[in-house]
Homo-oligomer: A and B are copies of this chain.
Amino acid sequence: MGSIGLVTPQQMHFSEPLPLKSGAALVDYTLVYETYGTLNADRSNAVLVCHALNASHHVAGRHGDGTLGWWDNLVGPGKPLDTERFFVIGVNNPGSCFGSTGPTHVNPATGGHYGADFPVVTVEDWVDAQVRLVQRLGIEQLAAVLGGSLGGMQALDWSLRHPTLLRHCVAVATAPNLSAQNIAFNEVARRAIVTDPDFHGGHYLAQGTLPQRGLRVARMIGHITYLSDDAMEARFGRELKAVDGRLGYTTQDIEFQIESYLRHQGDKFSAYFDANTYLLITRALDYFDPALPHGGSLTRAFAAALGKRFLLVSFTTDWRFSPARSREIVKALVDNRIDVSYAEIDAPHGHDAFLLDDPRYHAVMRAYFDRIGEQA
């Protein structure tokens, strides 16, 4: 398997306003994206990759500063999503803090940062923005839309609201909506951010501050939910930080390795992630609920995807979006006689498994994309 090598993000500007689900509109915005591989003559081999909370357009390859794409183990020459066969597009969603127009950008209405005034964006809004990008790239129909977690929700939405624009939907470690517990974790994280005195109602940039305390706590909470209980136990258990194995008997300092790890994750994240983006993205997760307009029936919702083909993948130890949530989607597809392959991977890593290169998982992905490639 080769490497994509150096990649350079591209930008596309849109001056036509994007109508949002909330009723507001996003005016005059830019999307940052990357592409890997070559679009074939009949433009039939394009695959769009949708990102989740802490990710971006940088799906694969290497940036000038050495940063590897977040799904580089999956996407590349000879890899399961083979860039020698497919033209792969990674796009950063509006509202992000990684390049596309978002809360840290200038609000044309005020001349200051958007901050908390950035409009609330939904999975559907992101997909609509992606549709415009794909069409501007001259692609009439995608071979597939692929995503994990929140990215999987975007892939599902493509199949529901733009079914003519794709042939396959590949949704990994995702769910048809958030459970009360999922929303609860999001809400605690948001409260940690919003009640940070440095948040200033979301206009912290105008105040020259950053609500890093809140972001740290938010990330620590998130991180616990990304890992399985077992994976955390195997990696950290009750191991102490002190090398001599002696307890310090302290309430404020670190005693256990797991504490050290979580604090480190929180510190790292709070140094680069935007707090308003965190609020926006967790809210997009909360709002996603394709069954809602169908009286709660996921089966009726997926009737819109007739004729599409699906791969769903879940991981046994994922307690954020458990296999049971993926099976709800599988059931809705089967109810509609829609072609679906489903793999439940017995992996120990919890939700994070979708980003790792478990061989059984990648074998499933490879086989499915091989099948798509033969049809492309």
Interface residues of A (CB under 8 A from B): 21-24, 116, 120, 177-181, 183-185, 187-188, 190-192, 194-197, 201-202, 213, 216-217, 220-221, 224, 227, 229, 232-233, 235-238, 247, 249-252, 255-256, 258-259, 262-263, 266, 276, 279-280, 282-283, 286-287, 289
Contacts and interface: CB of A to CB of B under 8 A. Distances in A.
Greatest chain B CB density within 10 A among A180, A202, A217 is at A180
A276 B235 CA distance: 30
B177 A238 contact: yes
A323 B283 CA distance: 34
Contacts of A282: 251
A251 B233 contact: no
Given A179-B232, A192-B192, A224-B181, A283 B187 contact: no
Nearest to A192: B217
Contact of A279 (B188, B237, B252, B256): B252
Contacts of A262: 184, 187-188
A358 to B, nearest CB: 21
Given A195-B216, A216-B195, A251-B120, A258 B187 contact: yes
Given A195-B216, A258-B180, A251 B237 contact: no
Contacts of A263: 187, 191
Contacts of A177: 238
A202 B259 contact: no
A202 B250 CA distance: 12
- 8 nearest CB pairs, A to B: A22-B249, A251-B279, A180-B232, A120-B249, A180-B236, A195-B213, A188-B220, A187-B259
Contacts of A236: 180
A215 to B, nearest CB: 11
Nearest to A22: B249
A281 to B, nearest CB: 10
A150 to B, nearest CB: 15
A251 B191 contact: no
Contacts of A21: 249
Contacts of A247: 22, 287
Contact of A259 (B183, B192, B195): B183
Given A180-B232, A180-B233, 11 more contacts: A23-B249, A24-B249, A179-B233, A187-B256, A187-B259, A190-B252, A191-B216, A191-B217, A192-B217, A196-B213, A255-B286
